[in-house]
Homo-oligomer: A and B are copies of this chain.
Amino acid sequence: MHLTNTVLLELYSKMRQTREFEEMAVKLFAQGKVHGTAHFCIGEEAAGIGVGHALDQDDYILQTHRGHHQAIGKGINLNHMMAELLGKESGCCKGKGGSMHIADFSVGSLGANGIVGGGLPLSVGAALTQQYLGKNAVTVCFFGDGAANEGSFHESLNLASIWKLPVLFVCINNQYGMSTHISKSMNIDDISIRAASYNMKGLSLDGNDVVLVYKETLKAKEYVKKHGPMLMVLHTYRLLGHSKSDAQVYRAKEEVKSWRKKDPILLFRKYLLTEKKIPETVLKQLEDQAAQDILNALAFAESSPEPMAEKLFEDIFAD
């Protein structure tokens, strides 16, 4: 499969936007400008972007609490996501969701979930709708390695399997659930073997290789439309702590260091320069643009009003 430079640069651009978004968010938290918490995906961008960018407008995604890259991959408006982080009326969830509940139905994001594993059953339902209505579309359900130990994982994969639903289960294995290394939460090395329990295809990939992730997602999309669900595990690493405050005493500095060398953005940049011969100036320009996009988003968010008190009572029920 050959990827055009356009696509490659789109991927690079979204990865950079994600990184800039996250670094800005880290800063905002450090400055005490954001109430609440957020979970950063720095180091995991290839997974969210590689998958999300391979999807079509009609495809759905269910995001995780660590889902900024997933949202950007699927095409969320950065201004609206930043405004949401700041709890503003102009946020994609009108300031009611925050980072843990980023959603944008207009681009097919059915929302991030604060409940680990909570999105899995929902994804089965979204795919059921697609199948029921005969849509030529898929649902992607993101979840973490930790979530793979929730009962909802088991029930959802089984149900999707017997109904042959067009859902792609994407496990972003960043090695940790909070402070718990995967070796302490399960006795297997590779979560993709769990697919066999449902007679489902399982695939295990280097989640830091955005080109690989993108290509395999394109294939997987066609596969699940035809054959029903598939489990795709993307191996990556959470470079920062679990959430805004985490001293990370549970893991060795060396471990983090060694993964920093595998930073998916660095790897991809090198690939673009050396293998794809993209001039550095082109990349630099995209990088600057991404930084600017985030500054713009911040300006948008900061200049947006807080929701009025009476909004508290809105949208509890639909009419």
Nearest residue in B to A194 (C-beta to C-beta)? B197
A149 to B161, CA, bound (A): 12
B-contact 0/1 string along A178-197, CB 8 Å cutoff: 00000011111000011011
User: Which one of A149, A158, A194 has the highest number of Cβ atoms from chain B below 10 Å of its Cβ?
Assistant: A158
Copies of this protein, total: 2
Smallest CB separation, A206 vs chain B (Å): 22
Docked CA distance A155–B150 (Å)? 6
Is there contact, CB below 8 Å, between A184 and B197? no
A146 to B224: give the CA distance in the assembly, Å: 26
Partner of A188, one of B150, B153, B185, B197: B197
Binary per-residue interface labels of chain A (151-173) against chain B in the complex, 1 for a CB within 8 Å, 0 otherwise: 11111001001100000000000
Number of interface residues of A (CB under 8 A): 22
Decide if A243 is an interface residue (CB 8 Å cutoff). Answer: no
Mask for A188-221, Cβ within 8 A of B = 1, else 0? 1000011011111000000000000000000000
The answer to whether B162 and A185 have CB atoms under 8 Å apart is yes
**C-alpha spacing A161/B199, complex, angstroms:** 22
Instruction: Encode A128-160 as 1/0 by CB contact (under 8 A) with B.
Output: 000000000000000000000111111100100
Question: Which residues of the partner chain B approach A162 to less than 8 Å between Cβ atoms?
Answer: 184-187
B residues in contact with A198, CB < 8 Å: 186-188
A7 → B minimal CB distance (Å): 35
Residue A151 contacts which of B150, B193, B194, B197 (CB distance < 8 angstroms)? B150
26 contacts between A and B (CB under 8 A): A149-B154, A149-B155, A149-B158, A150-B151, A150-B155, A151-B151, A151-B153, A151-B154, A151-B155, A154-B154, A154-B155, A158-B185, A158-B186, A158-B187, A161-B187, A162-B184, A162-B185, A162-B186, A162-B187, A186-B198, A187-B199, A188-B196, A193-B196, A193-B197, A194-B197, A197-B197
The answer for the CA separation of A196 and B162 in the assembled complex, in Å, is 20
Q: How far is the CB of A158 from chain B (nearest CB, A)?
A: 5
Bound: A199/B152 CA distance, A? 20
Q: What separation, in Å, do the CA atoms of A115 and B181 have in the docked complex?
A: 32
Chain B residues with CB under 8 A of A186: 158, 161-162, 198
Contacts of A150 in B (CB 8 A): 151, 154-155
Residues in B neighbouring A194, C-beta threshold 8 A: 197
Write out the residue numbers on chain B whose beta carbons fall within 8 Å of the beta carbon of A151: 150-155
Q: How far is the CB of A53 from chain B (nearest CB, A)?
A: 31
Closest approach, in angstroms, between the C-beta of A129 and any C-beta of chain B? 21
